[in-house]
Amino acid sequence: MASTADIRNGVVLNMDGGLWSVIEFQHVKPGKGGAFVRTKVKNVLTGKVVDRTFNAGAKIEIETVDRSDFQYLYNDGDNFVFMDLGTYDQITLSPAQVGDAANFMLENQTVTIAQNNGSPLYVELPASVVMEITYTEPGLQGDRSTGGTKPATVQTGYEIQVPLFLETGTKVKVDTRDGSYLGRVND
């Protein structure tokens, strides 16, 4: 058993009959009363985010999570197929296990898959990816980056907001955490 001193971002806790990943934590020592640890945790399977507070020194159960690099091969219609870059074994994940990462995964892209006791939990992507805009309304002469935004569809079918001057075929950098536009990429 570990204690609250072992809580870090990314640690997976086993509590309430499920696995919860720590998103944020803060050790708090008030002037009066005992110290405690305030955390924000995300359910690994459902994606639900909750706040939890632990008394300092409380015993917690930390799960071992192995992260390995996989190559995204294809979507077979219902599920996503990946290949382990170390062993070349293929695994199939459901849309629930892949989650929002499906909006930013291109074929042959390298991703990290977190596993607990051999069973896949979730897919981690790099902080940003380069994608091509497949459709957006044409920009107007005089539109500048300080103006408004318009919707644009990228290769995966996901829709993001981009500046008015961007056109179909432009490559853009997209933040995988929230789907925001980060900038244009020149070839």
Structure tokens at 169: 């075929």
Residue 155 CB neighbour total at 10 angstroms: 16
Structure tokens at 113: 């898959």
CA distance 183 to 186: 10
One digit per residue, the tens of pLDDT, for the chain of length 187 reads: 788 888 988 888 998 888 898 989 999 999 888 899 999 998 887 778 899 999 988 999 998 888 889 999 998 888 999 999 988 999 999 888 888 888 999 889 999 988 888 888 888 888 889 999 999 888 665 655 566 788 999 998 899 998 888 888 889 999 988 888 998 888 6
Residues near 132 by beta carbon (within 8 Å), at least 6 away in sequence: 154, 155, 169, 170, 171, 172
Q: Catalogue all structural domains in the chain, each as residue range(s) with its CATH number.
A: 2-63 (2.30.30.30), 66-124 (2.40.50.140), 128-184 (2.40.50.140)
State whether the Cα torsion 92-95-100-105 is positive or negative: positive
Residue 186 φ then ψ, to 5° = -90, 135
Residue 39 CB neighbour total at 10 angstroms: 22
Q: What is the pTM of this model?
A: 0.73
Structure tokens at 43: 């359910």
